[in-house]
Structure 1
Amino acid sequence: MVTPLDEVLWVSLPYIVIVVFIGGHVYRYAVDQYAWTSKSSELLEKRWLNIGSQLFHWGILIVILGHIVGLLVPPSVTQAMGIASEEYHKVAIVLGGVSGLVAYFGAWILFLRRLLIPRVRKTSDVTDILVLVLILIIMSLGLYNTLIYDIFVHPFPYRSTIGAWLRSVLILQPNSNYMVGVPITFQLHIIFAYILFLVWPFTRLVHVWSYPIFYLRRAWIIYRRARRPEVIVHA
């Protein structure tokens, strides 16, 4: 049975998140494009950054691609391609689990680097820590859902529930009935993702969109050196 809270979470809130996400990026770039940067701290510490960044970025790339296919492509499409639901589920668990763990370890390295290395900690602000905490919470829930719930509790048909709900939101026909009965850990995974997308435009995460399009179109900063007036000394 759909409750008023379900209507808020799965009908109204998704569009609020989308509006803030898009509008926030437009506003941020319009008024603060010179701060549109990852605020690199590579000069302060390289070893932890290189390891953590490589693990996180490569792992999260595969995770994102898996989410796109798993949530936006209906099961009927993959079945028509000759991929049975059971086979798809096994591949998703293995590939999603491995890539998720890689990204997860990378995120922890980046988080501990922010906290434990004094020079990096001093140059970090609240949003830097907030982003990493949100990412770790989202990934912890995602890994639990993939490696614990699906394997040891019960395989959950997220493609025909969460995926169907997301597709209904994107075609402007939101249907909260798909989310009724979805396990709480899956719901929390989505809710914390809401929070991440809401704060995204106002954090360092905007640098995801920076290369190469925005930097090619961004106005240049021109530095000029003023000449000192010549001093004539009379004998």
Structure 2
Amino acid sequence: MIRGTVVSTVAPSTEQSTGVVDVLLWVALPYVTIAVFVLGHYWRYRYDKFGWTTRSSQLYESRLLRIGSPLFHFGILLVLLGHVGGLVIPDRWTEAIGVSEHAYHVTAVALGTVAGFCTLAGLAILIYRRRTVGPVFSATTRNDKLMYAVLTLVIVLGLAATVAANIVGGGYNYRETVSPWFRSVFSLRPDPHLMADVPILFQLHALSALLLFCVWPFTRLVHMLTAPVGYLTRPYIVYRSRDERLGTRAPHRGWEHRPG
């Protein structure tokens, strides 16, 4: 009996062809970021409760703050909602409720671009204020400077990716690659090959976002995860005077002699 040799014509799996760099960037780094984000907030709350604050500088300057702060917060809120919708919600869910992929894409690009420019404009005003107003600049820490730099990088790369792919280019559907990868990380089944062929600007935007979440617990951004709920149940503070004669006689004027 002649034994033949069987030659396999099956191409290697995508998982096997995934490079070491892809595994480091799109598997190891996200989990390191999650660990730093969670443990960093625990450490900050455990050992730096009094530093868990926005470090408000409104007392030093309010004119530019009234313009830049609402513009930034309004824009970043829309950006956050857009990312939650695009990354967390699968495209089949939106199609199930009657929203076509084209309609979703056009709406997301239009609102995302407007929100991104609002966020960037507000951030530019806040950075200008922090750099040009003396008392505000004196109250700026190194962590604040790092936070502003990384946050600006994330926003600029996100806008650049949106403009390059959907306005200048022919369009790119990140819900077929980036979104499944994002969900695979949190389902503990990371799939790095989904990010292998993603346009470079989208990759840089994702990596800069991971960097932002790494520095997040050590900056003023921690205030986004808290709310003054305790004020609703905290009892009133009662102030009492030690002067027993208070209210028994008319107060003296400042220039009148007060008997001993």
TM-based fold match above 0.5: yes
Gaps of 5+ in 2: 1-16, 235-260
Per the alignment, residue 93 of structure 1 pairs with 109
1:66 equivalent among 73, 78, 82: 82
Which residue of the partner structure matches residue 12 of structure 1?
A: 28
User: Distance in 2 between the 1:162 and 1:109 partners?
Assistant: 31
Which shifted more, 99-108 or 209-218? 209-218
- 1:54-100 Cα deviation digits (max 9, x unpaired): 00001110110010011111111111111111111100111111111
C-alpha contact 1:165 1:178 (8 A) present in aligned 2: yes
**In structure 1, which of residues 191, 197, 202 is the aligned counterpart of residue 213 of structure 2?**
197
What TM-score do the two structures reach when normalised by structure 1? 0.89
Who is 2:60 aligned against?
Answer: 44
Report what 2:96 is aligned to. 80
Shift of 1:214: 7.0
Amino acid at match of 2:90: P
Q: Mark the CA change 1:214 to 1:126 in structure 2 (over 3 Å): closer, same or farther.
A: farther
Q: Equivalents in 2 of 1:188, 1:12: separation in Å?
A: 16
C-alpha contact 1:52 1:105 (8 A) present in aligned 2 = yes
* Structure 1: gaps (5+ residues): 219-235
Give the TM-score of the pair, scaled to structure 2. 0.81
Task: Measure how far apart 1:215 and its partner are.
Answer: 7.1
Indicate the residue corresponding to 2:163 in structure 1.
147
Task: Please name the residue that 2:13 is paired with.
Answer: none
Superposed CA RMSD: 2.5
Aligned-pair identity (%): 44
Secondary structure of residue in 1 paired with 2:32: helix
Highest CA radius of gyration, 1 or 2?
2
| TM-fit CA distance, 1:149 | 2.2
SS in 2 for 1:172: coil
> What SS is found at the alignment partner of 2:61?
coil
